[in-house]
Amino acid sequence: MGFEKFLFYVFAAITVFAAGMVVTRRNPVHAVLYLVLAFVGSAALWLLIEAEFLGIVLVLVYVGAVMVLFLFVVMMLDIDIAAMRANFIRHLPLGLLIAALMVFNLLLILGPWNFGLDAVAKPEPLPAGYSNTSVLGMDLYTVYVYQFEIAAVILLVAIIAAIRLTLRRRPDTKYLDPGVQVKIKKGADRIRVVSMPAETTPRPATNPSGAAGADEEAAS
């Protein structure tokens, strides 16, 4: 076994382990952190198949920006973990059925009869001046332009949904209306800051002898 194949098995195992931890962790923050690890392992696999652009974009965009956004969204949603655990057993049969269907579909698509040198020809070595970035851009904006636009719309809907979920009205939170602030005019609507000397309030003097006399009278 060569060194390249050894790296493939190592990063593939890390990716599968991280993906399994994403769907099994009960703490959503821990699940997001394991998702970051899964993205890093996937980026390493992209680099091994000479798709450097996809690997770098996966690290920079998803790990560097999207996952940070996921963490902020998870923390701002204030998910009730206790309520999620209470409904776990009730939804377990449906979840197992969906998981079995997904595994069956994966076996149909990723089965050994669909891959290998018998089903897919071995790719030819790429020349020294080959740029997969330019080839990817040409295919993305010509052959797959409609799929690219549909993905952009789906991401836009996801962003709007995340914003809508975080904009919850809470009675104990103060809000400012920028429209009302802009409409303020000079005069009675504005606050005038006046510089004036500070005033000190004299403290009453304490009389120890008087306090002792009052104690004696109370005792008698």
The string of DSSP letters for 148-194 reads HHHHHHHHHHHHHHHHHHH----TTS----HHHHHT--SSTTSPPP-
Give the per-residue pLDDT at 145. 92
Mean pLDDT of the chain: 79
Q: Is the pLDDT of residue 158 over 70?
A: yes
Q: And the tokens for 161?
A: 């949904």
Residues 44, 7 contacting (CB under 8 angstroms) = yes
C-alpha–C-alpha distance, residues 39 and 168, integer Å:
31
- Predicted TM-score (pTM) of the model is 0.55
pLDDT interval class at 77 (50, 70, 90):
low
Q: And the tokens for 55?
A: 């690997």
Q: Is the pLDDT of residue 128 over 80?
A: no
Residues 54, 25 contacting (CB under 8 angstroms) = no
Residues 67, 35 contacting (CB under 8 angstroms) = yes
C-alpha–C-alpha distance, residues 148 and 146, integer Å:
5
Q: Is the pLDDT of residue 118 over 60?
A: yes
Give the per-residue pLDDT at 73. 72
Q: And the tokens for 130?
A: 């080959």
pLDDT interval class at 206 (50, 70, 90):
low
Q: Is the pLDDT of residue 146 over 90?
A: yes
Mean pLDDT of 210-217: 50
Give the per-residue pLDDT at 1. 65
Which of residues 148 and 77 earns the better pLDDT score? 148
Mean pLDDT of 133-153: 89
C-alpha–C-alpha distance, residues 63 and 75, integer Å:
17
Q: Is the pLDDT of residue 179 over 80?
A: no
Q: And the tokens for 201?
A: 């309030």
Q: Is the pLDDT of residue 14 over 90?
A: yes
Q: Is the pLDDT of residue 207 over 70?
A: no
Sign for the CA dihedral angle at 204, 210, 212, 215 comes to: negative
